[in-house]
Structure 1
Amino acid sequence: MTQKQDGDPKSLSAEEAKAEFLALQERLRAADIAYHQEDAPVISDAEYDADKRRYAALVAAFPELEKDATQLNSVGAPAASGFGKVSHAVPMLSLGNAFEDEDVADFARSIRKYLGLSVQDPLAFTAEPKIDGLSLSLRYEDGVLVQAATRGDGSVGENVTENARTIADIPEQIAGAPRILEVRGEVYMSHDAFAALNQRQQERGGKVFANPRNAAAGSLRQLDAEITRSRPLQFFAYSWGELSEPLADAQIEAINRLRSLGFSTNPLTRLCSSLEEMIDHYRSIEAQRATLGYDIDGVVYKVNDLSLQGRLGFRSTTPRWAIAHKFPAELAWTRLEAIDIQVGRTGALSPVARLAPVTVGGVVVSNATLHNEDYIAGRDSKGAEIRGGKDIRVGDWVQIYRAGDVIPKVADVDLSKRPESAEPYSFPHVCPECQSPAIREEGDAVRRCSGGLICPAQAIEKLKHFVSRGAFDIEGLGNKQVEQFYADEWIREPGDIFTLRERFGSGLQQLKNREGWGEKSAANLFDAIDEKRTVPFAKFIFALGIRHVGEVAGKDLALHYGEWSALTSALDAARAAALAHRAADEAEDAERIAAEAEGRRARISETRAAAIKACGVPNEAQAAWDDLVGTDGVGPILALSLSDALANPEERAAIDRLADHLNIVPPDAPAAESPVSGKTVVFTGTLEQMTRAEAKARAEALGAKVSGSVSKKTDILVAGPGAGSKATKAAELGIKVLDEAGWLELIG
């Protein structure tokens, strides 16, 4: 296991936990974009799952990280360019994961606890193979297929209707269906079809696919539907989205109904009445995995009773009533031929292992992540040994594992095969791109280039991020064009993109005479750039590529501040407080180190308070800071990163130059969809008609914010029997107090 996955998170210091948390957050964000948006994954499924588990465990052990935990609520990635966008009437969410039998038992127990069921109450689940393909939603109106869309980011997907019509398993017309029916399932390619496709591709000199999942995704996303028609795609239906009337009362009956309507459903789907039956069916499917003829990576369990599914509802990104029980990873041995260093847009130096190509699970792999310099050296962030203390050297015989179709991880080293000439790897202390010092700050697991804007790797990666699909998504300006234009010194910062037409003039001579460009393609690029001069505020924030500021945080900041000028004014006002909190972080670190050396208990809270007080922060600066970190989805780490970026004179000037070329559109105000939309609600005491978790989920679904404490910002206190100090405080503050019956009447 990696250092991220070793040991109890509670054994870490706050400093160590924060460093590991930040490294995982960047890694998960990059992995989501690579897998869901670009069909070019950069880490394995097993590694991604392990990272996500460790990430969640760190947040659970250190609650102060929660406000910065943007990857807890991420689903997929934005829809790709080249296709129309489709807003899903019912979000296409991801699934939570189980890796051990005990995880499945915990899942079943949590269902019973949420619903208030005893262990004697019957509770059935369906169990079905988890297909490793591309999620697709098919919308039928009056029995006619009118739209097909990929998952995208869960809310908005790609319109691939014409391509879906070419798949034999997808009927264009159905009889006896509800007036509106959204059928959801997985597009996949069988092993035999995949092998035949790759053979044809080789004979034609075309692209050879790494695995069936990539082949299926690439085939469905062809702009020419005739290419999709030539690819042997299949489809399994397993769920549904919007319905004008229910399909059935139970999951298994609804699946049977879909099959009777003409859809292919997986024949290994079973109804299980106990935990033992669920695990037994998992073992049975696992034993058949190699002979199924298509890729699966686990088994999905779902609560069978659809009325209970409705009560259980959803978390922000996953349903409470379903979970995926994943298969273990696969292993292989190969030679480590080189270690390369890649520099990302935040300056992080990331080591990558170049391997002698090896087949793992039917896929040839030649690269692996090495995480950071500690991992290469055989230790974790606390200096404890991993892999038995064995370091990794060029020339080593290394064990790798993978699950799925992506870059593996180095799991072990065979010292008996280590060449005598192999030297310990010396991690660079200067950036390989710009030769600036590469600095590793106290508590950070990653070494970063200090070159900033002068580092071409960082500049290019930031520009690539700026034009990516989730950001400005400029048609005709992708990674290849960014690299070309940067090398030609045509664009050095995002604002330069919007002056290209002005600088080149109407003749387009400089661009159209370049290889790969003509007058039409050059004109199309300039028109595409002009189309992006009006941009939503949230997308503008995300596109800036500021460390820790992802899409979710961009939306939260846009909703809170409304306008770009309001956000910049708030950050300017809060700068003194930000610097004080930065000083407090440093004082905390120093106190922790000193206390450990002296064998005493650290006085963290006293040290922090003293450091902030010593800075003499003005009241207005502290108020602006409190408002910033009080924004939904924003915590101190993200707030400091945002403040630092806009306080950097060069970066601020570049952002201001960019903003001068744009019309930044404020977000729409949230619609008042219910009597409690936008209100802050607190529950206290015992609820008798629903569990506390169910009441919270219902309130949030109606647009309310649920808090655990009463304050001046509280609008409603729902007090059941046994309400204590919260009810007293609410009365003192004049807050509206309802009993459970009054609450249910209010929300209808």
Structure 2
Amino acid sequence: MSQDIQAKIEQLTVELNEYNYQYYVLANPVISDFDFDVKIKELEKLENEFPQYKDPNSPTLKVGGDITSKFKTVQHRWPMLSLSNTYNEQELRDFDNRVQKAIGHPVEYVCELKFDGLSISLTYENGKLSQGITRGDGVQGDDVTQNVKTIRKIPHQLKDADFPELFEIRGEIFMHKSAFIRLNKEREENGEQTYANPRNFASGTIKLQDSSEVAKRPLDCFLYFLYLDNRNKLFSTHWESLNKVKNWGFPVSEHSKLCTTINDVLNFIHHWDTARHDLSYDIDGIVIKVNDYSYQEELGFTAKSPRWATSFKFKAERVETTLKSVTYQVGRTGAVTPVANLKPVLLAGTTVKRASLHNANEIERLDLYEGDTVYVEKGGEIIPKIIAVYTEKRLANSSHILYPTSCPECGTELIRQEGEAVHYCPNENGCKPQIVGKIQHYIGRKMMDIQGLGDETIETLFRMNLVRHVSDLYTLHEKRDQLVHIERFGQKSIDNMLNGIEESKVKPFEKVLFALGIRHVGETVAKKLAIHFKTLENIKSASIEDIAAVQDIGIRIAESLFAYLHDQANLEELNKLEIQGLNFEIEEKEVVLAGNGLSGKTFLISGVFVDYSREQLTELIESHGGKMISSISAKLNYLVAGDKMGPSKLAKAEKLNVPIISEQELLNMINQE
């Protein structure tokens, strides 16, 4: 039973991480919002019940996805978190109950349309637009400032004089349905790849490198949240700030509403569940935010989302169409994904031709036959999914669809590990999609971050037989005479690529370990392994039990890593990389603190402060040796209390006799060093 639970958690983790990558990085969703949310909640439930099996790289802790290497990467001053969501009215009432319990009385909410587009953060300095950053992975995003400036509704210079010197404002970039249909039709007529929906078109457009091309595509934008230091000195509520930024010249949706009760919120949701079809753009739900800023700070955040906001997602639309065929795609890990090819049908404003079938279990569950009449749904109005088969319309002589036993790319017999739903091609060193995918993974921003190299270039290098393994990248300088034959690849491009490859040799050990693409070894796992074992040689010498004994490393990860490091072909590849000078041992750096007066003491911050933001106080505490914890318990040494601190925290601190200190008392403790 225990092994079954662990296997299920690992399977969901792998699946959801892949869905995140497809959605945020490739702008190519392969699962509906609804089905993704169902799987996330299933994983959260299992992780809560069996925390010993939780992957430290779990998608329940993640926001967003990876970042394209085409743009400069910039760290967000305030993380761009995602929202928790629900499709259930009772869960929304539960949210309201939790808020009231924490604050001690009913609160006001601001309801906003949930735009189906690309999240953006804009920075203004002295009233002038200085930077536009995408969500990225929530911590850092792409600098798309020049592209953002082509959007007509986004002001380059503010028209009023009472704005702060420096602030960020966040919102959503989107494309109107009519523009999407017109532009997609033009692409189809020109023989170009069409986009699945307006959200993908907007996302693809904002990441074009040529801003003159971006300007040709009519993007729009609504902005809805303001960030700045000591914001509470200017505004006490979100509703007040929305009205003010509108006066500054920002595009703010006219459909937002201030609600005093949860019943008002539900009435707003019911109205827009129908009225959304009259809008010129797509929305997929309603966002609900606590209005008072001080209450927002009191409620705080989880690792993934704010506790003071949530979203209600609308149910999907459904249509009937015909299944024409099922084809199969092979990913970099060897996972084989079935895809349903459909008779084109209009669904939620877009033409649907394909739908993901996920795995063999889904084909079996649906009991699919060739030519079946199927019901297709867009969960979250993004990605189509076959919900059911209309068996009464099944053709008399149709054949049952059987999942293949061999790889559609290389013909190798597929395997399916116990406890997993996905079939894999084990021929990782001889199957083209796996080889290319692994090299594309290796050069990625979070891995080796090789500048001057992109996915298309890797495809070309593979096709020209110049690259078959990641180690081949480090010998490309010997093949310059062949590189010049690559189309649209001049001397400057070649120099940039070769310089980027050379510079990657200084990447730290944990990045190299992650870049190798070892199954189940994600970014966090690679870092833990590097810190624990110090060198690759130590990992090679470790047994499966030794590896599994590392904190948060399960038996499945240990088995996968052990198998990789005891495969002769992999060992030869690692040896080539070591000869090229890559780092296979960790470089331990000494951490220099500003002081150690708070060493060994734990702190929690609550409320609103006069001279410092909560983030600044956190930095001060940690830079002087103190440790932040997330809740009041007997382990807490000091509660740093500001104005409007919640009564529940105050009562709990007093009950546990936790010392309650002010902002000034904290500064005095630091200064007494």
Pairwise same-fold verdict (TM > 0.5): yes
CA distance in 2, matches of 1:667, 1:153: 26
State yes or no: 1:645 paired with 2:629: no
Q: Which residue of 2 aligns with 1:212?
A: 198
How do residues 650-729 of structure 1 correspond to structure 2 at under 5 angstroms? 650-664=569-583, 666=587, 672=593, 704=627
1:44 — aligned with what? 32
Alpha carbons of 1:679 and 1:427: their partners in 2 closer, same or farther (altered >3 Å)? farther
2:398 maps to 1:422:
yes
CA offsets per residue over residues 111-153 of structure 1, 9 Å max, x none? 23444x2xxx221211110111111111111222111111111
Question: Per the alignment, in what secondary structure is the counterpart of residue 42 of structure 2?
Answer: helix
- Sort the Cα spacing of 1:209 and 1:148 in 2 relative to 1 into closer, same or farther, 3 A: same
Cα offset for 1:676? Answer: 9.7
Would you say the 8 A contact 2:57–2:522 is kept in 1?
no
What's 2:212 paired with? 226
Q: Does 1:290 align with 2:258?
A: no
Structure 1 equivalent of residue 485 of structure 2:
513
Change (3 A) 1:674 1:306: farther
Q: Distance in 1 between matches of 2:607 and 2:136?
A: 37
CA offsets 1:521-576 (integer angstroms, 9 cap, x no match): 43443233223332244432322212222234344545x34xxx71424434531x
Provide closer, same or farther for how the CA distance between residues 371 and 688 of structure 1 changes in structure 2, counting only shifts above 3 A. closer
The corresponding residue for 2:512 is 540
Structure 1 residue aligned with 2:149? 165
Q: Are the counterparts in 2 of residues 143 and 176 from structure 1 also a CA contact under 8 Å?
A: no
Aligned pairs for 1:389-538 within 5 A: 390-403=366-379, 406-502=382-478, 504=479, 508-538=480-510
What is the distance in 2 between the residues matched to 1:328 and 1:669? 53
2:642 maps to: none
- CA drift of 1:412 comes to 0.3
What are the ranges of 5 or more consecutive residues in structure 1 without an aligned counterpart?
Answer: 1-12, 379-389, 581-620, 721-737
Give secondary structure in 2 for the equivalent of 1:416. Answer: helix
By how many angstroms is 1:191 displaced?
A: 2.0
Whether the aligned pair in 2 keeps the contact of 1:89 and 1:242 (CA below 8 Å) is: no
Q: CA deviation at 1:421?
A: 2.3
What TM-score does the superposition give when structure 1 sets the normalisation length?
0.77
SS where residue 168 of structure 2 aligns?
strand
**Greater Cα shift, 635-644 or 178-187:** 635-644
Secondary structure, aligned partner of 2:22: helix
Distance 1:655 1:420 in 2: 56
Matched residue of 2:534: which SS? helix
Give me the whole-angstrom Cα distance separating, in 1, the residues matched to 2:558 and 2:187.
Answer: 49
Segment of structure 1 superposing worse, 102-111 or 509-518? 509-518
Per the alignment, residue 653 of structure 2 pairs with: none
2:9 is equivalent to residue 21 of structure 1:
yes
SS in 1 for 2:270: helix
Pick closer, same or farther for the CA change 1:475–1:199 going to 2, 3 Å.
Answer: same
State the AA in 2 paired with 1:481: T
What residue number does 1:741 align with?
659
The worse-fitting range, judged by mean Cα deviation, of 655-664 and 666-675 is 666-675
Look up the match of 2:177. Answer: 191
**Following superposition of structure 1 onto structure 2, how do residues 314-393 of structure 1 map, counting pairs within 5 Å?**
314-378=301-365, 390-393=366-369
Inter-partner Cα distance in structure 2 for 1:228 and 1:477:
23
Structure 1 residues 245 and 127: CA distance shift in structure 2, 3 A: closer
Q: Is the 8 A contact 1:365 1:408 kept in 2?
A: yes
> For the structure 1 residues 496 and 688, does the alpha-carbon distance in structure 2 shift closer, same or farther, using more than 3 Å as the test?
closer
Q: How many residues align?
A: 634
- Note closer, same or farther for the CA distance 1:214–1:419 as it changes in structure 2 (3 Å cut): same
Distance 2:287 2:312 in 1: 6
Q: Please name the residue that 1:606 is paired with.
A: none
Once residues 45 and 452 of structure 1 are traced to their aligned partners in structure 2, the CA distance between those partners, rounded to angstroms, is 31
Give, in angstroms, the shift of residue 474 of structure 1: 3.3
1:80 is displaced (CA, Å) by 1.5
* In the alignment, structure 1 residue 96 sits paired with structure 2 residue 84: yes
Determine if contact 1:59/1:69 at 8 Å carries over to the other structure: no
- Cα deviations by residue, 1:165-221 (Å, 9 ceiling, x for unpaired): 222221122221111111111111222333343455566666543322122222222
Q: Which amino acid aligns with 2:658?
A: E
Distance in 2 (CA, whole Å) between partners of 1:363 and 1:434 is: 34
- What's 2:525 paired with? 553
* Pairing partner for 2:247 from 260, 273, 289: 260
Backbone CA RMSD of aligned residues:
3.5
CA–CA distance in 2 between the matches of 1:181 and 1:486? Answer: 46
Encode CA deviations 1:374-403: one digit per residue, 9 max, x unaligned.
22122xxxxxxxxxxx51122211112113
Measure the CA separation in 2 of the matches of 1:188 and 1:265: 13
Distance in 1 of aligned mates of 2:630 and 2:127: 45
Q: Where does residue 235 of structure 1 map in the other structure?
A: 221
Distance 1:361 1:464 in 2: 34
Question: Do the aligned partners of 1:453 and 1:459 also contact (CA within 8 Å) in 2?
Answer: yes
- Please say if residues 336 and 395 of structure 1, whose CA atoms lie closer than 8 Å, have aligned partners that are also in contact: yes
1:415, CA displacement in angstroms?
A: 1.0
Contact 2:297 2:606 in 1 (8 A): no
Cα distance in 2 between the residues matched to 1:70 and 1:442 = 21
Q: Residue deviations 1:296-333, cap 9 Å, x none?
A: 11101111111111112211121111111111112122
- Change in Cα spacing, 1:412 to 1:321, as seen in structure 2 (3 Å) is same
3-state SS of 1:243 partner: coil
Which one-letter code corresponds to 2:47 in the other structure?
A: V
Contact 2:441 2:447 in 1 (8 A): yes
Match of 1:80 among 54, 68, 88: 68
Shift of the 655–707 alpha-carbon distance from structure 1 to 2, 3 Å rule, reads farther
Q: 1:179 aligns with which of 155, 161, 165?
A: 165
Q: Are 2:142 and 1:155 equivalent residues in the alignment?
A: no
Report the Cα distance in structure 2 between the residues aligned to 1:79 and 1:128, rounded to whole angstroms: 27
CA contact (8 A) 1:347 1:448 kept: yes
Deviation readout 1:320-357 (Å, 9 max, x if unpaired):
11111111112122222222232222222222222222
| Residues 349, 448 of structure 1: 8 Å contact kept | yes
Distance 1:278 1:668 in 2: 52
| Rounded Cα–Cα distance in structure 2 between residues aligned with 1:312 and 1:173 | 34
Work out the CA distance in 2 between the residues paired with 1:95 and 1:635.
29
Letter in 1 for 2:562: S
SS in 2 for 1:549: coil
Deviation at 1:719, TM superposition (A): 11
Distance of aligned partners of 1:516 and 1:356 in 2 relative to their CA distance in 1, 3 Å threshold: farther
**Kindly tell me: are residues 676 and 662 of structure 1, through their superposed partners in 2, closer, same or farther at Cα, counting changes over 3 Å?**
farther
Distance 2:628 2:525 in 1: 17
Once residues 87 and 217 of structure 2 are traced to their aligned partners in structure 1, the CA distance between those partners, rounded to angstroms, is 34
Deviations 1:578-636 (A, max 9, x none): 2x5xxxxxxxxxxxxxxxxxxxxxxxxxxxxxxxxxxxxxxxx5xx753x2x2xx5444
Q: Aligned in 2, Cα 1:59/1:464: closer, same or farther, shift over 3 Å?
A: same
SS of alignment partner, residue 438 of structure 1: coil
Equivalent pair of 1:353/1:368 in contact (CA under 8 Å): yes
Q: Which residue of 1 aligns with 2:116?
A: 132
Distance in structure 2 (CA, Å) of the matches to 1:574 and 1:357: 54
- Matched-pair contact (CA < 8 Å) for 2:638–2:659: no
Alpha-carbon deviations, 1:49-77, whole Å to 9, x = none?
22222222222233232245521111122
